[in-house]
Structure 1
Amino acid sequence: MTNTLLYLLPIISAFTGWLISRLGISLFFKRLQAQQKTLAMQAGSYVAAGFSFDEIAAKLTSKEAIEKILPVAEEHIDHFLRVKLPAAMPMLTMFISDKLVADMKAIFMAELKELFPTIINQYLSNATSAIAIDKIVANRLEAIDINKVKYALRSELNKIAFFGALIGFVTGGIQIFLTRIA
């Protein structure tokens, strides 16, 4: 009878390991749910500390970035000079020629090359004070349903529980081995 119980030890240990793993996972998710707001605020602060509008401004005002948006501006200026301006001021149609439009467009484009970095920097400066990255991140993290996360991770959590059972089984086997040699 004692030998039979001794050989059940790995199965009992495996069950115990599985049960402890499951309880640990359950406690982890309950604790996560209870602390979700605090953790979300901490994560928001962390993200905001690492977020730099200066880096974004530097990338957006780089020569390459400005060169990419100039064709769009040029197209709008051309449309403005050829269509909207004559429609708004019909008397100008007598004076507007293709050469005048080309000259005015060249002047406007040169001015926009200088103006765009200033506009972008000013816009981002205003956005920096208006946008609270820490609050946005915190609100998004608070809105996460922990049960959905648990459901999405179920296969990984099952692997952890299986690993707990495996450790329990191995521990039970070692106990049998040590009992037999003693």
Structure 2
Amino acid sequence: MKISELILPPLIGGFIGWLTNYLAILMLFRPYRPLKIGFLTFQGVIPKRHWEIAKALGELVEEQLLSQRELIELLTSEENKQLFAEKILLAVKEKLSTLFPVLPEYLRQIVIRTLLNYFKNELPSVVNKIILSLETDLQNKVKIGKIVEEKVLQFDLKTLEKILTSLMKTELSYIEVFGGVIGFIIGIIQVMLNIFLK
């Protein structure tokens, strides 16, 4: 048996195994748009199912990560109500300090202090009304799953490919190498079968 008959099958098998897996990974993303060759149409798995992936991600985020109810609870928590109240009070204070420029300073300060005290007393009620309004708007208008879905659909496919391949670079390399190793082993088995069957 020639040396080429011993070496070539594992090398060719390894190359074919590596190439097959390389092309399979490439075909996850490419071609981006449908490519017709005769009766066959080729398109990458991810571009072809971009809409389904976006929808599934939207549902996943809304159902498992951040539901509308959780968002509302987060916004309507006592801690956030207090934060809203502080921000509103600060804005009112800044606005009041610019009013009544014609009044003498001591009188102006009395008016501002009186208005601020009145506003402080009314603030919890005002914040509750704002929060209630926000809660209603969130329930009626904000659909987290839909927002995520739309954002994913806006992703440029090249950008999406770069993101995914950079995240899975090591794993994808292993898949390519594994294909080469399997092909090489099959080539060795083929050589052994040729030797034993002769």
Give the TM-score category using the shorter length: 0.7 to 0.9
Structure 1: give runs of 5+ residues left out of the alignment: none
* 2:16/2:180 contact within 8 Å kept: yes
User: Percent same amino acid at aligned positions?
Assistant: 25
Could you list the per-position Cα deviations for residues 82-123 of structure 1 after superposition, in whole angstroms to 9, with x for gaps in the alignment? 432x36xx7x87995644533432231232123313312311
AA aligned opposite 2:112: V
Q: Distance in 2 between matches of 1:20 and 1:75?
A: 64
- Aligned counterpart for 1:125 among listed residues 129, 136, 143: 136
* 2:14/2:184 contact within 8 Å kept: yes
- Greater Cα offset, 25-34 or 46-55: 46-55
Gap change, CA 1:71 and 1:131, over 3 Å in 2 = closer
* 1:61/1:116 contact within 8 Å kept: no
* 2:54/2:152 contact within 8 Å kept: yes
**Structure with the larger helix share:** 1
Could you list the per-position Cα deviations for residues 136-172 of structure 1 after superposition, in whole angstroms to 9, with x for gaps in the alignment? 3222222323344435527544443223112322443
Structure 2: give runs of 5+ residues left out of the alignment: 30-43
AA aligned opposite 2:79: E
| 1:124 alignment partner, SS class | helix
* 2:47/2:157 contact within 8 Å kept: yes
| 1:64 alignment partner, SS class | helix
Could you list the per-position Cα deviations for residues 45-93 of structure 1 after superposition, in whole angstroms to 9, with x for gaps in the alignment? 3333343233223222323223334333223333444432x36xx7x87
Match of 1:5 in 2: 5
The number of aligned residues is 178
- Aligned counterpart for 2:79 among listed residues 52, 60, 64: 64
Match of 2:68 in 1: 53
AA aligned opposite 1:18: W
- Aligned counterpart for 2:179 among listed residues 160, 164, 170: 164
Q: CA deviation at 1:129?
A: 1.9
| 2:175 alignment partner, SS class | helix
- Aligned counterpart for 1:110 among listed residues 102, 121, 146: 121
TM-score where L is the length of structure 1: 0.73
CA RMSD of aligned residues (A): 3.4
Match of 2:91 in 1: 76
Q: Distance in 2 between matches of 1:24 and 1:34?
A: 15
* 1:81/1:101 contact within 8 Å kept: yes
Q: Distance in 1 between matches of 2:159 and 2:97?
A: 57
Q: Distance in 1 between matches of 2:58 and 2:72?
A: 21
* 1:14/1:164 contact within 8 Å kept: yes
Match of 2:27 in 1: 27
- Aligned counterpart for 1:39 among listed residues 53, 59, 73: 53
Residues 1:140 and 2:140 aligned together: no
* 1:44/1:138 contact within 8 Å kept: yes
- Greater Cα offset, 94-103 or 24-33: 94-103
Q: CA deviation at 1:179?
A: 6.5
